[in-house]
Amino acid sequence: MQVNQTAMNTRLVHALHDAIELRHAGQLLFRYVYEPAMPAMESPKPYFHPLRTLAGNEVTIYRPHDHVWHKGLQMTCAHLSGQNFWGGPTYVNGQGYAQLDNNGRIRHERWGELRCEDDRADLHEELKWISSTGETWIREKRRISVSEINPAGGYWALDFEFRLDNVRGAPLVFGSPTTQGRPLAGYGGLFWRGPRAFLGGQVLASGGLEGPDIMGRRAPWLAYIGLHDGSAEYSTLLFIDQPGNVSYPNKWFVRNDPFAAVSFAFSFDEEYTLAPDDELTLNYRLVIADGAWSRERIETFVAS
């Protein structure tokens, strides 16, 4: 069964117990799969795929053969008090990656408000982070907002709010492979995996940072510019951290080789402990744009 909401040129299409799609002027901009079917080893969780620009270019990949647990854009954590909500093997200090019996999952519980009006959309979701032994560790309230669709400017924007409430009854420690001893592998949090064609893409960040030098460095924004197969057109993804987040400005996990990936890595190389009954709130913005944006254009946009 599908439930549709329409506002001007923008339309939400809800396939119950499966996914929500957003379309603008007939073009699919995203598909958010909130009840995925996947093996427990892949740490099942909601994900966005495809994400597309206004011109129709796809900027995500689903289940790449090198890391089948990478799925478009998703909220996740590789090391959380011994549990792996990322998927696949876990990095063990002194041993390397090992497939452990510790793959948790993030389960959709219910939708709150679903609204589409004036070329904007707002989705309110409740979820549970459940350990491999079936214990609920986190109750999450997630807000996904399409805050701007700008055909003249060739871009649209997604805003995220993640409110994570520790209901485990014990501290929760967020970490990464880097906090466990692997250098420059601080991935976790909101994570994007780009299409194969984005291999070797241009990476920019504030403060004049560029390329591999950005890995593990603090910056309030990061941009990834890639070139598509087929259309031979460029797209730009602009990831913007928000003041008030823990460890702001964010330390970035980013790669353009051997694949395109960006993570808002708030626990890149330092663990973050969430006390029992405390709440961690994270806010991020992702701008999905046609064309290769210059540093000047990006800085003007972020400052506006």
At residue 118 the predicted structure's pLDDT band, cuts being 50, 70 and 90, is confident
Is the pLDDT at 4 greater than 70? The verdict is no
* Averaged confidence pLDDT in the chain: 96
Q: Give dist(CA 101, CA 78) in Å, integer.
A: 14
pLDDT at 3: 56
In this structure, what DSSP letter does residue 135 have?
Answer: -
The per-residue DSSP string of 185-209 comes to ----EEEEE--GGGTT-EEEEGGG-
pLDDT at 231: 97
Percentage of the residues of the chain whose pLDDT score is greater than 70: 97
Is the pLDDT at 5 greater than 80? The verdict is no
**Rounded mean pLDDT, 177-203:** 98
Alpha-carbon torsion, ordered 208, 213, 215, 220, to 10 deg: -10
- Specify the range with the lowest mean pLDDT, choosing from 49-53, 63-67, 117-121, 225-229: 117-121
Specify the 3-state DSSP secondary structure of 87: coil
The separation between the first and the last C-alpha atoms of the chain, rounded to the nearest angstrom, is 41
**Rounded mean pLDDT, 97-107:** 98
Is the pLDDT at 2 greater than 80? The verdict is no
At residue 162 the predicted structure's pLDDT band, cuts being 50, 70 and 90, is very high
Domains of the chain: 2-303 (2.70.98)
Instruction: Report pLDDT digits (tens) over 7-35.
Output: 568 999 999 999 999 999 999 999 999 99
pLDDT at 281: 98
**Rounded mean pLDDT, 59-88:** 98
pLDDT at 1: 55
pLDDT at 67: 97
Q: Give dist(CA 1, CA 85) in Å, integer.
A: 30
pLDDT at 263: 98
**Rounded mean pLDDT, 38-43:** 97
